[in-house]
A and B are shown apart, each in its own frame.
Chain A
Amino acid sequence: MSAAHFLPDTNWEPTAEFWAGAAQGELRIPRCRECGTYNWYPPKTCHHCGSPQLRWEAVSGRGTLFSWAVVRHVFVKAFEEEVPYVTGLVALEEDPAVRIVTRIVDCLPEEVGADMRVEAVFRPLVFSGSEKSVVVPWFRPATV
């Protein structure tokens, strides 16, 4: 698979608002207007109450590291220059049941720890050999 396979399709309707938010430095998650539940991945109806009234809302971008892996092997060529890198799941401060798949940056793999407090940081994802880039939410150790 080429690098292009690893850039998101920012126009795909179910996640378009997530990527539009990232471009503006916001982490956006669909929230039920009736019961207030955050829903992830984006469903058509609220997984808690069944309401179709879901609205994308900006969240704080803060959370804790739920789990992670340190990728040391080049499984796909697109990530050849990235290894070793840390990828994993962040539990959102607003609702820890919402887990965002992300990369942990600005620290060494050895510095990553359980329940570490993290915050979103928005940077362009670029793969060498590809002209396109997309701003994505990565997470770094919390600074405040």
Chain B
Amino acid sequence: MTASTTPANPPDWGFPTEFEDLSGEVAIVGVGEADPSKASGRTTHAIAAQAVERAIADAGLRPEDVDGVIYSGGLGDQFDAAAFHAHFGTNHSLFASSEGGGMAWAATAPVVAARAIRERKASCLVNVFSVAWATQRANMVGGPGEFHAKQRFKANLEMPFGWFPQPVYFATIARRHMLEFGTKPEQLGAIAVSCRRHANLTPGAVMHDKKLTLEDYLSRPMLVDPLRVEDCCLISDGGGAYVMTSSERARDLAKPPIVVAGVGEGQSGSGSYWSQQRDFTATPQVFSAPGAFAMANLSPHDVDVLTLYDPFTIAALMQIEDMGFCAKGDGGAFVEGSALDFDGGVLPYNTHGGMLSHAYVLGIAHVVEVVRQLRGEAAAQVKDARVGVYGGYTGQHASTLVLRRDA
């Protein structure tokens, strides 16, 4: 059985991944965050280990109870099975998959878990992701630019023209969105201001102590016109982890289970070449979100709290449109003012501050935050949140994870 992912007139510049229906099979039973920070001197492994320890403790489990680890194969130095055993001093049998971690995979790791549980390869799995990019940037290695510089069409047809790094891509996208739809700077600013307000309320958020008003935002100089530094994510050290098991077993554990109701994934046909994506002002959420909502038997109207992978304000705005929270092109008007605030906004959004103001830990903290919201444990708590969504995004991919409180 596959999820129905086909809208009435699907665009043809990308495509959805067809997932089998796994709605309700697995639940998130433990979450943990490593302390987010600026450059801290910590290693990627040490950060991951702290997150995993906390996630396992949160679930009321012991390391020996975890028999599967899901991590990112795409980024180096991640917390794989060997790292798990080395850290916890264990030697039990561990299922391992490199199809997880952060970014888009922070939403799709539950698919890996559901399959492993169904095939009896594992019963309790942790998905983990960490970065030490703030530390590494200080040493001039690693970081988000390095990945793109290695792609040869970018090196040959983009970088010679100074179309590099990512803030330049997204400034160009933002400009086009403004030209096509009339999107205004104060609308992008509203996203940054809501995120900052949420970070001000969230202990540990990197920008916890720094206020930002819309007037502040508008008075800031352009970094790469039309984007200001406040439109761009932080560079951070940090990470997170979440523990999954079958929904049935989840009911016997320490915390209220947060059920995986739907998962979706979409891809752009032009890969990570933003310049060549046929619909320049869209994200592959167009292909991802419909399948996730269909699997969950829910719609965007049912969502109480949303977190989005937000490298730039414009990337969040486009995903809000592409996931169906408003019509394409109406995102600017939709997010204006306090629309995204946790207390009284029409769509409480990135309630921990997101990558703009909490930490750039590539989406894993977003999933942790949704779980906390649905348990009622968040710092900027949305009243009676029952359905929460995380949208992942890499450019090439987008993904959608619909979570709900166990009925």
A interface list, Cβ under 8 A from B? 1, 5-9, 12, 14-15, 18, 40-41, 66-73, 75-76, 79, 82, 85, 87-89, 97, 99, 101-103, 109, 114, 125, 134, 136, 138
Contacts and interface: CB of A to CB of B under 8 A. Distances in A.
B165 interface: yes
Contact of A15 (B157, B159, B173, B224): B157
Contact of A101 (B152, B163, B227, B278): B163
Interface hub of A68, A109, A134, A138 (most chain B Cβ within 10 A): A68
B158 interface: yes
A71 B168 contact: yes
Interface of B: 145, 149, 152-153, 155-165, 167-168, 171-173, 175-176, 179, 221-227, 273, 275-276, 278, 280
Contacts of A71: 162, 168, 171, 224-225
Contacts of A68: 172, 175
A125 B226 CA distance: 26
A133 to B, nearest CB: 11
A84 to B, nearest CB: 8
B153 A41 contact: yes
B222 to A, nearest CB: 5
B175 A125 contact: no
Contact of B157 (A5, A8, A76): A8
11 contacts: A6-B160, A7-B160, A8-B156, A9-B152, A14-B156, A67-B173, A69-B175, A69-B226, A71-B162, A72-B224, A87-B161
Contacts of B227: 69
Given A9-B156, A109-B225, A125-B160, A99 B175 contact: no
A41 B224 contact: no
A67 to B, nearest CB: 4
Contacts of A12: 152, 156
B278 to A, nearest CB: 7
Contacts of A73: 167, 223-224
Given A66-B280, A87-B161, A136-B161, 16 more contacts: A6-B164, A9-B155, A14-B152, A14-B153, A67-B173, A67-B175, A67-B179, A69-B175, A72-B223, A79-B162, A87-B163, A88-B163, A99-B276, A101-B161, A101-B275, A109-B225
B165 to A, nearest CB: 6
Contacts of A41: 153, 157, 273, 276
A70 to B, nearest CB: 4
A75 B167 contact: yes
A6 to B, nearest CB: 5
B232 to A, nearest CB: 10
Nearest to A69: B171
Given A41-B153, A67-B173, A72 B225 contact: yes
Contact of A102 (B161, B164, B173, B280): B161
Q: Which A-B residue pairs are the 7 nearest by beta carbons?
A: A69-B171, A70-B225, A67-B176, A8-B156, A15-B156, A69-B172, A87-B162
B235 to A, nearest CB: 12
B153 A75 contact: no
A41 B279 CA distance: 15
B160 A136 contact: yes
A134 B161 CA distance: 12
B274 to A, nearest CB: 10
A29 to B, nearest CB: 11
Contacts of A88: 163, 172, 175
B165 A15 contact: no
Nearest to B223: A73
A69 B222 CA distance: 10
A7 B273 CA distance: 19
Contact of A85 (B159, B162, B173, B176): B162
B269 to A, nearest CB: 8
A41 B269 CA distance: 12
B122 to A, nearest CB: 40
Contacts of B168: 69, 71, 75, 87
A97 to B, nearest CB: 7
